[in-house]
Amino acid sequence: MAIPFSYNFRNLRVRKTTTVMTALGIALTVAVLLGIMAMVVGLNVALQATGHPLQMIVVRKNSNSELGSQVAREALLSIKYKDGIQKFPNGEPMVSGEIVRVINLPRKNNPEGANVNIRGLSQLGIEMRPGIRLAEGNWFEPGQREIVVGQSIALRYVNAALGDTLRFGRGDWKIVGVLDAGKTAFDNEIWGELNQIASDFNQNETLSSVLVRATDPIALEALKNSMADDQRLYLDAKSEVEYYSQLTSSADPVKFLGVFVAIIMAIGSSFAAMNTMYAAVVRRAREIGTLRVLGFSRGSILLSFVVESLLLSLLGGLFGVLLVIPLNGLKSGIGNFGTTFSEIGFDFRITPFIVLVGIAFATIMGIFGGLLPARTAAKQDILNALREL
Amino acid sequence: MENNLVIETVDLHKEYKRDEFQVIALQNANLQIHKGEFVALMGPSGSGKSTLLYLIAAIDRPSQGRVRVLGQDLQQLSDKEIAHWRNEHVGFVFQTFNLIPVLTARENVELPLLLTNLSKKERIEHAETALKLVALSDRMTHYPRQLSGGQEQRVAIARAIVTDPALILADEPTGDLDAHSAQEVLTILTKLNQEHGKTVVMVTHDPHAARYASKIRYLEKGELLPEGSPPPA
């Protein structure tokens, strides 16, 4: 049988200041990693969940985003009558011409403001996005200076709640509804009627993009190829899901930096744990010698010190998880996000998986930090150990 | 070999290398201790008495010669086998008690039993019996820091006898104790020898302590003096 856990546990308790200091170092490392992961998971949910699997976004060739694209209004007619496009029950093709522009709005915690996407679209465009519903109020009426804002906008921006008035373009716009896009990218947009937005932004000749729904996945591919091959139209088509997923790659540098910082901190924390454990081995040399005299093997001593290091790091992991749990559900945003040049709002998400990653990360630090001191303890000569003061 | 021979050393020799110097700690020691004897090993500092005790306990390995304890040639055992053998057959008492400070008296005594197949309940029963034997029933849940030196050494003796070993080895067991506590410890060792039939080998500087033994063997400059020799000057 191994040396009992209570031996390790009580030793950690006896040197509680060192234990807490080392565990806090590990906790901060775990917290940094988990904070970054919670942000990335939140962003992924915001962007990857956006889009219908049979829909594609048509933009001008070589444009990476709707914002940098201009599609002539005549092209809309050519697209509408292509084969493989799904139709509404009334026979109308599922094709929605849309305009996307950026405006700057003051945020509640940042009066200098952030960029927000304005989307001008028709009733067709709304119906092609069945995952989106009104959380409050009504949809905008054609011919009225009315807008509907995403939930994330309503929460985080000044005067952006239902019934408020926002000033952009050529004047004031009344907020008549708040849309719930299920935490997808549309929660960060303001929607208005296509022609109203077009005239306010002086964009009557062109659209930014065209949203098209195919009848099936094969037709989707065929349509994409047909758009790309049509030299006259000079367009590119991407599946809607793919388009929003690609935007998540804009978070890659943040993700990389976060993981890099966490790894550097982890190495530091492992050395701190190692230092603590080496000190423990030196201080308890005579105890180690005594345990050997009593009949405990080198293996039991090794295991005991690794277990102690693990207990220490798991305590740190637990502190780390507790530190980041308040972040769960916290609303934040990344400004000038990727090619949309607008802010993407997202919720930090501490999922059970993230908690497990934090504990696993702490475990690795514990094993790495504990193994060498434990080996030193196990290899000690009994007589030399007994002679230590 | 005689049936009641517990310890037999043949031409036992131990050398240490200290920096570039070779130090002879013990040379050609031939010792025989029989079952039920209480032997005191005496001699000045550096005479090799503790070295001899550590070689008998297999805590150290001889440079030359042979140690046979309870019929077992110790040099034939691996490190792991020695640990197991020691746990089963030898109880060791240190001068500085060497209790584990974070464990209670009962947990300290229970430690060697963790290496046996006894159940938790049986381990506790054995530990409590051992503590009763050293008259510490009322200190079972005390930590070492809550005990006096004499009480700590009695816990250490309980730990040494809890596996019911045939042989008890004590290295200066009264060296850190006041006269009263020393006498208590020596009385317990005598009782273990006389009433429980344990063979006891005790290293000591103290002639008063040595008087509790049934036989005294002297060492001087690494040599074991012949039986019946007077103490070295």
Most confident range (mean pLDDT) of A39-48, A332-341, B44-53 is: B44-53
Separation of alpha carbons B210 and B219, rounded Å? 14
pLDDT at A273: 83
Separation of alpha carbons B7 and B11, rounded Å? 13
Residues of B in contact with A290 (CB under 8 A): 94, 98, 100
CA atoms within a 13 Å half-sphere pointing along the CA-CB vector of B130: 29
Average pLDDT score over chain A: 86
What band does B159 get if pLDDT is binned at 50, 70 and 90?
very high
Is A39 or B206 the better-scoring residue by pLDDT? B206
Over residues B161-190, the mean pLDDT reads 94
Cβ atoms < 10 Å from Cβ of A356: 11
The residue among B30, B13, B8, B2 whose CA lies nearest residue B222 is B13
The yes-or-no verdict on residue B31 having pLDDT over 90 is yes
pLDDT at B215: 95
Interface contact A290-B103, CB threshold 8 A = no
Interface contact B103-A7, CB threshold 8 A = yes
Interface contact A295-B88, CB threshold 8 A = yes
Best of A1, A8, A290, A389 to disrupt the B interface (most B CBs within 10 Å) is: A290
pLDDT at A340: 54
pLDDT at B197: 93
CA atoms within a 13 Å half-sphere pointing along the CA-CB vector of A43: 24
Instruction: Report the relative pairing of strands B38-42 and B215-220 from DSSP bridges.
Output: parallel
Cβ atoms < 10 Å from Cβ of B155: 26
Q: Is A78 on the interface with B (CB under 8 A)?
A: no
Is A330 or B130 the better-scoring residue by pLDDT? B130
Q: What tokens were used for A244?
A: 């929003």
pLDDT 10s digits, A135-169: 999 999 988 899 999 998 998 899 999 999 999 98
Instruction: Give Cα separations from A309 to A1, A7, A73, A104, A312 (angstroms).
Output: 19, 13, 67, 52, 5
The yes-or-no verdict on residue B1 having pLDDT over 50 is no
Chain A residue closest in CA terms to B55 = A383
Interface contact B83-A290, CB threshold 8 A = no
The yes-or-no verdict on residue A203 having pLDDT over 70 is yes
The yes-or-no verdict on residue A113 having pLDDT over 70 is yes
Exposed/middle/buried for residue A349 (C-beta within 10 Å: 0-12, 13-18, 19+) = buried
Separation of alpha carbons B174 and A17, rounded Å? 36
The residue among B51, B29, B39, B28 whose CA lies nearest residue B6 is B39
Q: Is A379 on the interface with B (CB under 8 A)?
A: no
Separation of alpha carbons A4 and B102, rounded Å? 12
Over residues A305-334, the mean pLDDT reads 87
Average pLDDT score over chain B: 93
Nearest by CB to B86, from A14, A293, A386: name it: A293
Q: How distant is the Cα of A282 from the closest Cα of chain B, in angstroms?
A: 15
The yes-or-no verdict on residue A193 having pLDDT over 90 is yes
Exposed/middle/buried for residue A115 (C-beta within 10 Å: 0-12, 13-18, 19+) = middle
The yes-or-no verdict on residue B3 having pLDDT over 70 is no
pLDDT at A336: 53
Beta bridge partners of B29: B12
Separation of alpha carbons A169 and B80, rounded Å? 84
pLDDT at A1: 62
Q: What percentage of chain A reaches a pLDDT higher than 90?
A: 37
DSSP sequence for A274-321: HHHHHHHHHHTHHHHHHHHHHT--HHHHHHHHHHHHHHHHHHHHHHHH
Chain B residue closest in CA terms to A292 = B83
The yes-or-no verdict on residue A341 having pLDDT over 60 is no
End-to-end CA distance of chain A: 28
Angle, alpha carbons B47-B49-B53 (nearest 5°): 155
3-state secondary structure of B36: coil
CA atoms within a 13 Å half-sphere pointing along the CA-CB vector of A35: 18
DSSP A45: H
The residue among A120, A119, A117, A121 whose CA lies nearest residue A102 is A117
Instruction: Give Cα separations from B5 to A365, B161, B164 (angstroms).
Output: 53, 20, 18
Exposed/middle/buried for residue A245 (C-beta within 10 Å: 0-12, 13-18, 19+) = middle
Best of B92, B102, B108 to disrupt the A interface (most A CBs within 10 Å) is: B102
pLDDT 10s digits, A259-271: 788 888 888 888 8
Separation of alpha carbons B15 and A63, rounded Å? 84
pLDDT at B2: 55
Q: Is A298 on the interface with B (CB under 8 A)?
A: yes
Separation of alpha carbons B120 and B114, rounded Å? 9
**Residues of A numbered 14-43 whose beta carbons fall under 8 angstroms of chain B's beta carbons: which are they?**
14
pLDDT at A89: 93
Given a contact cutoff of 8 angstroms between Cβ atoms, the answer to whether B103 and B109 are in contact is no
Over residues A269-290, the mean pLDDT reads 87
pLDDT 10s digits, A352-374: 998 998 899 899 988 988 899 99
pLDDT at A339: 52
The yes-or-no verdict on residue A199 having pLDDT over 60 is yes
What band does A48 get if pLDDT is binned at 50, 70 and 90?
low
The yes-or-no verdict on residue A112 having pLDDT over 70 is yes
DSSP sequence for B111-175: GGGGGSS--HHHHHHHHHHHHHHTT-GGGTT--GGGS-HHHHHHHHHHHHHTT--SEEEEESTTT
pLDDT at A222: 92
pLDDT 10s digits, B68-106: 999 999 989 998 899 889 999 999 999 999 999 999 999
pLDDT at A181: 84
Q: Is A186 on the interface with B (CB under 8 A)?
A: no
Whole-model pTM? 0.73
pLDDT 10s digits, A230-269: 888 888 888 888 887 776 676 677 778 877 888 888 888 8
Q: What percentage of chain A reaches a pLDDT higher than 70?
A: 94
Q: Which amino acid is residue B61, in one-letter code? A: R
Interface contact B83-A292, CB threshold 8 A = yes
Separation of alpha carbons A22 and A271, rounded Å? 10
Interface contact A1-B112, CB threshold 8 A = no
3-state secondary structure of A359: helix
Residues in Cβ contact with A363 at an 8 Å cutoff, skipping those fewer than 6 apart = A310, A313, A314, A317
Instruction: Give Cα separations from B34 to A212, B60, B70, B167, B201 (angstroms).
Output: 101, 22, 10, 11, 11
What band does A334 get if pLDDT is binned at 50, 70 and 90?
low
